[in-house]
């Protein structure tokens, strides 16, 4: 059945959608009264080559090659790929090796959350934007006191809006410096960032000393101090903006997280044990449908993953490379271990047919029903808070404490308790709030794991890598989290070479097109019904607010290659190749 597209009202196309890696476009239709958006199509406009490039290579090469998917979030790909190859090679890192991988990933999440909240999303609520599109809101902001001014130093919401002005704003610039510090932390443990070069199967290639961890700790405490200002600041901004933009980007609480930050004594890279070690992660894996946890089992989550190409520029497939997973569970034809990536270019903006280079990931429950799930910080915080698998979880919130941060310039040097509460509505502003709180929660987990790792290293336990012999054949999957949400890699190895490698990045889930039942993807669904707040114009500000709240990264989302010269068709496809 062809997708039904409403054509009444004014149509707008935003191409490319900027402020992070491009190649994403959105087509949206407003109703005749100009009050809300009634239809939307999200589409990617770019070829890439990673899944096909890896075929026939040494599987370990994927750890370094797949990081080149993105310079914004290379470490989640490194982590997912390293865990995928751990499983493929049947090797498990020692505890300190697991800790160093965790700390490196945490460094990226600490850099990425200020980047997302203050630099990429914050300007949509800055004085510059509000002054142009909502001067009445800015006027009220300037006379509204900030509840937590004593923590962050901004007396009014208007002052916060001024601080979020791009390039010149004090919050914008502070966030830029904290992002730089996160990259420096990653480089300390992994050689460089982006594209670290020390992740290897079985651990990490880094000689570790107590002084390395002490240096890491000194930078971590700057992020601890920053969180104590950063979170209250965004709480104040978001609480003020909610009456004006609370209906922006609303969708049902259908979400998925694969979890991250391994338990140092639990992770063993064995598929059959994945449900056990997955549930011990500091960020709990889970699928949420209609606000309720369906499963926390990583094996069940993996089994439910599907990708469809009904509206994507690819050929469908029918062959089964794997009929069962390593535990003997039946695999669907559309599971990534069976998936093919064969380009099939077509005309652009054919909303009833194929219109994007993004595939359509969905999650299928035990009854076979497919669900449109969003991924990202709000999904991670929701599953962790709801599941009560970690000490911080109350079932309704995540409650944790950051330690003393008696460093120069710290506004809040003492301990500080945080509580992220499950919101009554999932919207754009709550996605941003969750991203800010995830910065604080990451700092909390990093601090506690750092104490354990530092004790181990000081006791002489410095083993960071497990020796292995690569088997002839193997299969693996690495299910983890990027700042933007669930990232997963799957590998099939035959005769020591990659027979198949598949990747689903966070933005692939969120920016996906219509699925097998013509249901919109998360971006599309979140735009449909979003009120139009612009007065006298239709520039699409409310659309880009929705998308930026998810924090898109199209470089991660599309990985296609065809050696037969399809690039000659790029002019008819609207691609930016």
Q: Please provide the DSSP assignment of 181-214 as one string.
A: HHHHHHHHHHSSSSS-S-EETTEE-----HHHHH
Q: Is the peptide bond before 194 cis (omega within 30 degrees of 0)?
A: yes
Q: Is the peptide bond before 376 cis (omega within 30 degrees of 0)?
A: no
Closest CA to 248 of 527, 561, 559: 527
pLDDT tens per residue, range 221-260 = 999 999 999 999 999 999 999 999 999 999 999 999 999 9
% of residues, the chain, pLDDT over 90: 86
Arithmetic mean of pLDDT, 471-483: 98
pLDDT score at 325: 98
Tell me the pTM: 0.94
> Cα separations (Å) of 103 from 142, 219, 269?
40, 12, 18
Q: Is a pLDDT exceeding 90 seen at residue 160? A: yes
Least trusted range by pLDDT, from 16-25, 382-391, 542-551: 16-25
Query: Containing H/E element for 294?
Result: strand 292-295
Q: Is a pLDDT exceeding 80 seen at residue 577? A: no
How sure is the predictor about 47, in pLDDT bands with cuts at 50, 70 and 90? low
Q: Is a pLDDT exceeding 50 seen at residue 4? A: no
How sure is the predictor about 179, in pLDDT bands with cuts at 50, 70 and 90? very high
Block residue for tokens 């990264």: 553
Query: 562 — phi, psi (to 5°)?
Result: -140, 120
Block residue for tokens 């009929």: 323
Cα separation, 428 vs 251, whole angstroms: 9
More confident residue, 52 or 312: 312
Q: Is a pLDDT exceeding 80 seen at residue 449? A: yes
pLDDT tens per residue, range 336-395 = 999 988 888 899 999 999 999 999 999 999 999 999 999 999 999 999 999 999 999 999
Q: Is a pLDDT exceeding 90 seen at residue 70? A: no
pLDDT score at 554: 62
Arithmetic mean of pLDDT, 98-114: 97
pLDDT score at 5: 40
DSSP class per residue in 15-70? -S--SSS--EEEEEEE-TTSSBEEEEEEEE-----HHHHTTTS-TTHHHHHGGGG-
Over its C-alpha atoms, the chain yields an Rg (Å, rounded) of 23
pLDDT score at 48: 65
pLDDT score at 2: 33
Identify the CATH number of the domain defined by range 11-573.
1.10.645.10
Q: Are 494 and 84 in contact (CB under 8 A)?
A: no
Arithmetic mean of pLDDT, 130-156: 98
pLDDT tens per residue, range 197-216 = 999 999 999 999 999 999 99
pLDDT score at 42: 95
pLDDT tens per residue, range 367-383 = 999 999 999 999 999 99
pLDDT score at 49: 63
pLDDT tens per residue, range 510-543 = 999 999 999 999 999 999 999 999 988 899 999 9
């Amino acid at each position: 059945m062809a997708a039904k597209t409403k054509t009444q009202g004014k149509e707008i196309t935003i191409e490319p959608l900027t402020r992070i890696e491009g190649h994403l476009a959105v087509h949206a239709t407003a109703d005749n009264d100009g009050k809300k958006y009634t239809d939307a199509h999200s589409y990617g406009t770019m070829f890439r080559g990673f899944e096909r490039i890896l075929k026939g290579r040494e599987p370990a090469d994927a750890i370094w090659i797949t990081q080149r998917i993105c310079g914004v979030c290379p470490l989640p790909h490194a982590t997912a790929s390293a865990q995928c190859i751990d499983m493929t090679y049947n090797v498990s890192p020692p505890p300190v090796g697991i800790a160093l991988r965790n700390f490196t990933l945490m460094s990226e999440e600490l850099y990425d959350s200020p980047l997302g909240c203050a630099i990429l999303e914050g300007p949509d609520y800055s004085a510059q934007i509000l002054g142009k599109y909502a001067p009445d809101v800015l006027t009220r902001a300037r006379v509204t006191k900030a509840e937590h001014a004593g923590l962050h130093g901004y007396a009014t919401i208007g002052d916060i809006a001024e601080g979020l002005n791009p390039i010149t704003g004090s919050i914008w610039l502070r966030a830029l410096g904290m992002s730089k510090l996160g990259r420096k932390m990653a480089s300390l443990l992994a050689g460089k960032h982006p594209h670290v070069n020390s992740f290897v199967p079985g651990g990490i290639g880094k000689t570790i000393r107590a002084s390395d961890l002490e240096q890491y700790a000194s930078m971590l405490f700057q992020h601890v101090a920053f969180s104590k200002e950063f979170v209250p600041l965004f709480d104040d901004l978001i609480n003020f903006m909610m009456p004006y933009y609370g209906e922006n980007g609303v969708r049902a609480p259908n979400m998925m997280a694969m979890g991250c930050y391994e338990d140092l004594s639990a992770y063993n890279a064995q598929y059959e044990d994945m449900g056990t070690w997955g549930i011990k992660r500091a960020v709990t894996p889970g699928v949420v449908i209609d606000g309720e946890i369906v499963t926390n089992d990583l094996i069940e989550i993996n089994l439910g993953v599907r990708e469809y190409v009904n509206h994507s520029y690819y050929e469908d497939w029918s062959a089964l490379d794997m009929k069962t997973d390593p535990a003997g569970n039946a695999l669907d034809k559309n599971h990534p271990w069976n998936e093919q990536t064969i380009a099939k270019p077509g005309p652009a903006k054919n909303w009833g047919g194929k219109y994007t280079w993004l595939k359509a990931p969905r999650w299928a429950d035990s009854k076979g029903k497919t669900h449109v799930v969003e991924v990202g910080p709000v999904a991670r915080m929701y599953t962790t808070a709801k599941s009560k698998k970690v000490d911080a979880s109350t079932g309704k919130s995540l409650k944790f404490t950051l330690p003393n941060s008696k460093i120069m310039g710290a506004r809040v040097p003492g301990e500080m308790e945080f509580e992220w509460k499950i919101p009554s509505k999932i919207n754009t502003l709550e996605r941003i709030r969750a991203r800010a709180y995830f910065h604080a929660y990451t700092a909390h987990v990093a601090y506690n794991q750092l104490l354990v790792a530092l004790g181990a290293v000081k006791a002489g336990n410095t083993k960071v890598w497990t020796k292995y012999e690569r088997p002839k054949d193997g299969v693996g999957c690495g299910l983890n989290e990027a700042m933007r949400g669930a990232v997963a890699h799957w590998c099939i190895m035959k005769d020591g070479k990659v027979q198949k490698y598949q990747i689903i990045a966070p933005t692939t889930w969120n920016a996906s097109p219509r699925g097998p039942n013509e249901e919109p993807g998360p971006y599309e669904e979140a735009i449909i019904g979003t009120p139009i707040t612009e007065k006298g114009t239709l520039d699409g500000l409310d659309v880009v607010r929705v998308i930026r709240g998810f924090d898109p990264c199209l470089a991660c989302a599309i990985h296609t290659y065809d050696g037969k010269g399809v690039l000659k068709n790029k002019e008819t496809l609207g691609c930016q190749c």
